[in-house]
Amino acid sequence: MPDVGTLNGVPVKDVQEEGEAILHVLEGALPEGKVQGRVDWEVRFDHMQQHTGQHLLSGAFDQVAKAMTVGFHMSAEYCTIDLRIPALASELADRVEDLANRVVFEDRPVKVLLLSREEALRLPLRKRPPDLDVLRVLQIVDFDYSACGGTHCQRTGEVGLVKIAGWEKIREDVRVEFLCGGRALRDYRWRNASLNALAGELSIAPRDLEPAFRRLRQEYADKGKRIKELLEEALKYEAERLVKETETAGSFRLIVKVFPDRDPEEVKGLANRLAEHPGTVALLAATRDKANLVFARSADLGFDMNALMKAAVSRIGGKGGGRPNFAQGGAPLSPDLTTLLSELGKGLR
């Protein structure tokens, strides 16, 4: 990533290399003559911290785990290195992090060496340098040599904390995300605030959050299961009550109900329970945000619920269907749904 800044006050949008030339793409025209450039120091320093941190981390991975860095990516939010290793264990990542940060704490000098290729190749370079006659080698004293053209800190202490944020397997490599210096501080800040807020909600210490969360999730699952069992039971009793309350007229009892505030699945369950009672036709609807219709009849009756559903939805502009004993449909809300269902039910007599 290039520097950000201005040339004579005109913001630079992009920087590209073209042969020997370095092209600055500006947001506006630049008058002829002498030009003064100004680098955005905050962005530059951030890049220096991430770049130098990358050398520290790659060096530490090389020394602790014999893991070679085969790729480096930096964006405005995060940095990654790709390591040529099949997997990474947490314990190993911790050891690498410890070494990188020890070198930070020791505040070692970071030097830029301009060397001929021959001279450079005599150094214990961590990776093969590019094919150039003159090489720019970054030396972290008594720790690491690596050819690099980037911007770096002058001492390892300037890098600040080097933190591995996570990793994932990418084909034959492991991609490690990391943060250095100001980025690590900002990352720590929001994570700390987030953990403190969550722990505060539960009135526990942040360190106890993980077991507490697992316990809550288990309780939630257990409760969900229990609610389902109780609902089944409640629907059975509700069906019995409705059957008792409804007089049989002609050859069957007709139960018509529209529920404005119930879950369609629950109403479907009720229809099924009702159909277990001989001589019963249930025409039900749940009308929370649309009309969910469910028609069911007991096995001893011969009416066609599928045909009845098709008749119903054609009247109110919906869709639906099913089997002769059970059918479902959906339609926009309509104010006289109860009347419609009653009419259809009485039509069966």
**Strand intervals (E) in 75-153:** 79-83, 110-116, 134-140, 144-147
Torsion of CA 127, 131, 136, 142, to 10 degrees: 20
Only one of the segments 43-51, 94-102, 200-208, 230-238 lies at the binding site for Zn ion (rule: CB under 5 A); that segment is: 43-51
Sign of the four-CA dihedral 69, 75, 79, 85: negative
Q: Kindly state the smallest distance separating residue 39's Cβ from Zn ion, in Å.
A: 17
CB 291 within 8 A of CB 331: yes
Total residues contacting Zn ion (rule CB under 5 A)? Answer: 3
Long-range Cβ contacts of 133-137 (<8 Å, 24+ apart): 136/112, 137/112, 137/113
- Please identify which residue in the block is written with the tokens 């001589």: 279
Check binding of 182 to Zn ion (CB under 5 A). Answer: no
CB 179 within 8 A of CB 78: yes
Check binding of 44 to Zn ion (CB under 5 A). Answer: no
- Please identify which residue in the block is written with the tokens 């003064």: 36
Q: Kindly state the smallest distance separating residue 136's Cβ from Zn ion, in Å.
A: 9
**Nearest to residue 83, comparing CAs of 161, 210, 171, 158?**
171
Only one of the segments 22-30, 127-135, 147-155, 284-292 lies at the binding site for Zn ion (rule: CB under 5 A); that segment is: 147-155
Q: Kindly state the smallest distance separating residue 111's Cβ from Zn ion, in Å.
A: 12
Q: Kindly state the smallest distance separating residue 172's Cβ from Zn ion, in Å.
A: 24
Among 85, 96, 140, 148, binds Zn ion (CB under 5 A): 148
Q: Kindly state the smallest distance separating residue 288's Cβ from Zn ion, in Å.
A: 60
Sign of the four-CA dihedral 191, 192, 195, 196: negative
* DSSP letter (8 states) at residue 120: H
Tell me, residue by residue from 107 to 146, as one string, x for binding to Zn ion by CB under 5 A and - for no binding.
----------------------------------------
Q: Kindly state the smallest distance separating residue 147's Cβ from Zn ion, in Å.
A: 9
Only one of the segments 149-157, 213-221, 239-247, 257-265 lies at the binding site for Zn ion (rule: CB under 5 A); that segment is: 149-157
Q: Kindly state the smallest distance separating residue 52's Cβ from Zn ion, in Å.
A: 7
Check binding of 150 to Zn ion (CB under 5 A). Answer: yes
Residue closer to Zn ion by CB (options 158, 266) is 158
The residue type of 308 is L
Check binding of 51 to Zn ion (CB under 5 A). Answer: yes
State which residue has the least CB distance to Zn ion: 148
Contact positions vs Zn ion (CB under 5 A): 51, 148, 150
